[in-house]
Amino acid sequence: MSTTNPFYLLPLFAAAWFVHSARRIEGPGARSFKVFVLFGALTVGTRTALVLLGPVNRGSVLAAMLEGLRVAVMLAVFGTFSSVTDSWRILRLTPRRFHEPALAAALALSIAPRTIVAAARVREAQRMRGIEPRRWRALPALAVPVLATGMEEAGTLAESMDARGHGRGRRSSYRTEPWGPAAWATATTAALAAAVFLLVARALGGGLTPSTFPFVWPEASPWLVLAALSFSLPGALRPETRP
């Protein structure tokens, strides 16, 4: 969020892709990474196209592209997190006082996988009826059932939560999970890398926001590039066995 420099954003995207490739959990969540990357590319194109509504020059186009790239990288990072984590396991490990925020986060993380599963079911049903889902005319026929399925699943989830007494004090106790060397290395490296970016952003150094009016070729600090690449560490570490 603190930079639009492509020399930092692209290494961050590479780190996200590497972690997704090495540690993805097979299933709908793993396929959600591709969806987030496609939405990111669409964001870059849309943000750049909006420049056509105003004065067009090299600086405005480059600024729009860099802003879109920042959002695209953030979506890729979110897609990676969705593909390598079990949202409901995170919810079960959350202390009781943070149960409501954790539930909201778990629901948000499960939206993309559930939507992918629903879309696959609808596409298969359309093929059985002789409808070609790849045609543009078939998109409304795909979107409406997917939205309806999402609303139905949301209602089912709400009924399940009510049946289990959510919000009435009948919750399982919080159980901590031991951290191994890989977990500590990941957390420490991520904290240090984030601190480096925050300190540089506060000092307004390192070329975090390249100039586009007038255009100046972005500069890159080797330390910040290394900090961005260090987020790929979880993909290189040996996964720990769950208890």
| Domain co-membership, 72 together with 183 | yes
pTM of the entire predicted model: 0.78
**Residue at 49 is within a domain:** yes
Tally of structural domains, the chain: 2
- Residue of 74, 73, 108 whose CA lies nearest to 88: 108
pLDDT, one tens digit per residue, over 51-87 is 888 778 888 899 999 999 999 999 999 989 888 887 7
Q: Which residue has the tokens 């009510």?
A: 162
| Domain co-membership, 112 together with 224 | no
Cα–Cα distance measured from residue 116 to residue 32, given in angstroms and rounded to the nearest whole number: 7
| Domain co-membership, 159 together with 224 | no
From first to last of the 243 residues of the chain, give the pLDDT tens digit: 888 999 999 999 999 999 999 998 887 777 788 888 998 999 999 999 988 887 788 888 999 999 999 999 999 999 898 888 877 777 777 777 777 777 777 777 777 777 777 777 777 777 777 766 566 565 666 677 776 776 676 666 656 655 655 555 555 555 667 788 888 999 999 999 999 888 887 776 556 888 888 888 888 888 889 999 999 999 998 776 655
Residues of the domain holding 131: 94-163
**Residue at 132 is within a domain:** yes
| Domain co-membership, 134 together with 158 | yes
| Domain co-membership, 103 together with 57 | no
Q: Which residue has the tokens 């939206």?
A: 111
| Domain co-membership, 12 together with 52 | yes
Q: Would you list the DSSP string of 171-184?
A: -PPP------HHHH
Q: Which residue has the tokens 């996964």?
A: 239
**Burial code of 59-77, b = ≥16 C-beta within 10 A, e = fewer?**
ebebbbbbebbbbbbbbbb
Cα–Cα distance measured from residue 70 to residue 3, given in angstroms and rounded to the nearest whole number: 7
Q: What is the pLDDT of residue 226?
A: 92
Q: Which two tokens stand for residue 125?
A: 């049903």
| Domain co-membership, 115 together with 218 | no
Residues 6+ apart with CB under 8 A from 10: 73
Note whether 76 and 33 are within 8 A (CB).
yes
Helices (H), the chain: 6-23, 28-49, 58-84, 87-92, 99-128, 139-163, 181-203, 222-229, 233-236
